């Protein structure tokens, strides 16, 4: 799209989610783009333009949703892929080669952690993990061959929100690229590039899709980075299928209103849990008791839809609490319209010992809640009866 076609004033996230930055008005065009369920497209010679093929990521549905994600993130470009892990893996492969080094936050999504710890070393890429709070540790971890700093905001499942700006400033000094998995924030609550982050990665399975009905990922950044991710995707194969791309676009149209409701519901629920005697800790960046409340207030436009609690009764109480729920559903994953509840000791952190989980701030009794957009009174009533079931 030429610069001339850009709207004169920057659009807000609700408008971008619906229209992106495009404003083509062609008589007879459908208001809702059709699903172009075709693997291949007529093409005879290079005179016919770009060769379109599903795996190349240039199916119209994939291109359209990528542009919309770039508009939301404020990046030059973005590409949607077949999963969040596809996005993370392709971004790392685009940025490092054998002999390179990554410094990563010690608070990471489980599969990302395994990718960096077990998988990339087999390809000649080493990672040093450091606490995202300890700037000195990041400085000390930098080597001449460090290419990437990788962080996650907010973190799973303790919902920490660290100030990324000291890390991005340090990266600038050394010519290091900063990648951020901002899945938990969504572009509505936190725009990574405003904090100096170069590459934003999403599991679009979560808030971007928003309905727990698709698996997708996205990588947003410079034209150059997105072109390299796209080139690698043509070789490794994690292209998104047109139907999921269409569903993702459909989900993004309501991202802004969904996230506003997730934020409001989560805030009310966190405040409610904080007063309950069965609960020893309630973790939500919007609570003044949260260690990162101040920085989250400064950098986040909303505190998100994720709330974690620790039940005094430990593992047994958590199992009983989950079994007693009737509106909220026990299931892994997050970011959908429905409230989902899970225990990290059974899901993301199942491979760790109790001691290791304790060290990460995840004692037994820890319950993670992806607060949905139901009526908050119904959710609170459900949580109340489930807490009361613990006494019986
Ligand atoms: C779910 C998730 C992923 C992985 O995404 P998939 O779409 O399941 O591949 C990565 N990072 C975070 C923070 C997630 O929540």
The ligand 1 atom at the shortest distance from the C-alpha of residue 156 is: 13
- 86 C-alpha to ligand 1 centroid (Å): 9
User: Cis link prior to 4 (omega < 30° from 0)?
Assistant: no
Angle, alpha carbons 299-304-308 (nearest 5°)? 120
Question: Which residues have CB under 8 Å from 216's CB, separation 6+?
Answer: 80, 81, 82, 83, 84, 203, 204, 205, 208, 209, 240, 244, 245, 248
Selecting among 68, 109, 261, 382, the annotated active-site residue is 109
d(CA 164, CA 228): 25
Decide: helix, strand or coil at residue 57: coil
Report the candidate in 10, 61, 13, 1 with the shortest Cα–Cα distance to residue 37. 61
275 is an active site residue: no
What element of type H or E holds 104?
strand 101-105
Q: What is 255-391's CATH number?
A: 3.90.1150.10
Domain boundaries, the chain: 13-253, 255-391
206 is an active site residue: yes
Selecting among 100, 181, 198, 319, the annotated active-site residue is 181
Decide: helix, strand or coil at residue 306: strand
**Cα distance between the two ends of the chain:** 63
Ligand 1 first shell, C-beta below 6 A: 83-85, 109, 152, 156, 181, 183-184, 203, 205-206, 215, 217
Q: Which CATH number fits domain 13-253: 3.40.640.10, 3.50.50.60, 3.40.309.10, 3.90.25.10?
A: 3.40.640.10
Which one of 151, 155, 203 would you pick to mutate in the ligand 1 pocket, going by the greatest count of ligand atoms within 8 A of its CB?
Answer: 203
Whose C-alpha lies nearest to ligand 1, atom 6? 84
Whose C-alpha lies nearest to ligand 1, atom 4? 84
Instruction: Give me the count of residues in the chain.
Output: 392
Could you read off the pLDDT tens digit of each residue along the chain, which spans 392 residues? 444 455 578 999 999 999 999 877 789 989 999 999 999 999 999 999 999 999 999 999 999 999 999 999 999 999 999 999 999 999 999 999 999 999 999 999 989 999 999 999 999 999 999 999 999 999 999 999 999 999 999 999 999 999 999 999 999 999 999 999 999 999 999 999 999 999 999 999 999 999 999 999 999 999 999 999 999 999 999 999 999 999 999 999 999 999 999 999 999 999 999 999 999 999 999 999 999 999 999 999 999 999 999 999 999 999 999 999 999 999 999 999 999 999 999 988 888 889 989 988 999 999 999 999 999 999 999 999 999 999 87
181 is an active site residue: yes
């Amino acid at each position: 799209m030429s610069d001339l076609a850009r709207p004169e004033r920057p659009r807000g996230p609700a408008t971008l989610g619906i229209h992106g930055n495009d404003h083509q008005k062609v008589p007879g065009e459908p208001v809702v783009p059709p699903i172009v369920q075709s693997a291949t497209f007529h093409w005879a010679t290079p005179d016919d333009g770009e060769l379109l093929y599903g795996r190349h990521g240039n199916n119209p549905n994939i291109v359209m949703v990528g542009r919309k994600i770039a508009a939301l993130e404020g990046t030059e470009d973005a590409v949607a892929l077949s999963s969040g892990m596809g996005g993370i893996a392709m971004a790392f492969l685009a940025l490092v080669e054998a002999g390179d080094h990554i410094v990563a936050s010690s608070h990471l999504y489980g599969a990302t952690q395994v990718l960096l710890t077990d998988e990339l070393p087999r390809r000649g890429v080493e990672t040093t993990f450091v606490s995202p709070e300890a700037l000195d540790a990041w400085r000390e971890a930098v080597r001449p061959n460090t290419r990437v700093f990788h962080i996650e905001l907010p973190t799973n499942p303790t919902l920490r929100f660290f100030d990324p700006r000291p890390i991005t400033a340090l990266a600038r000094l050394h010519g290091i690229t900063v990648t951020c998995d901002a899945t938990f924030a969504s572009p509505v609550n936190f725009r990574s590039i405003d904090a100096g982050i170069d590459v934003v990665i999403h599991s679009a399975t979560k808030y971007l899709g928003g309905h727990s009905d698709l698996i997708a990922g996205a990588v947003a950044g410079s034209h150059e980075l997105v072109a390299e991710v796209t080139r690698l995707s043509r070789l490794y194969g994690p292209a998104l299928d047109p139907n999921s791309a269409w569903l993702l676009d459909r989900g993004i149209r309501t991202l802004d209103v969904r996230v506003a409701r997730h934020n409001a519901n989560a805030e009310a629920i966190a405040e409610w849990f904080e007063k309950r005697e069965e609960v020893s800790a309630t973790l939500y960046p919007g609570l003044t008791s949260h260690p990162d409340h101040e920085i989250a207030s400064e950098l986040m436009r909303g505190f998100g839809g994720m709330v974690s609690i620790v039940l005094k009764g430990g593992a047994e109480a958590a199992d009983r609490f989950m079994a007693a729920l009737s509106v909220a559903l026990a299931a892994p994953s997050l970011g959908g319209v429905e409230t989902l509840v899970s225990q990290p000791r059974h899901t993301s952190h199942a491979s760790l010992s109790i001691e290791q989980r304790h060290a990460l701030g995840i004692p037994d009794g820890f319950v993670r809640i992806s607060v949905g957009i139901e009526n908050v009174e119904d959710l609170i009533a459900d949580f109340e009866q489930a807490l009361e079931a613990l006494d019986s």
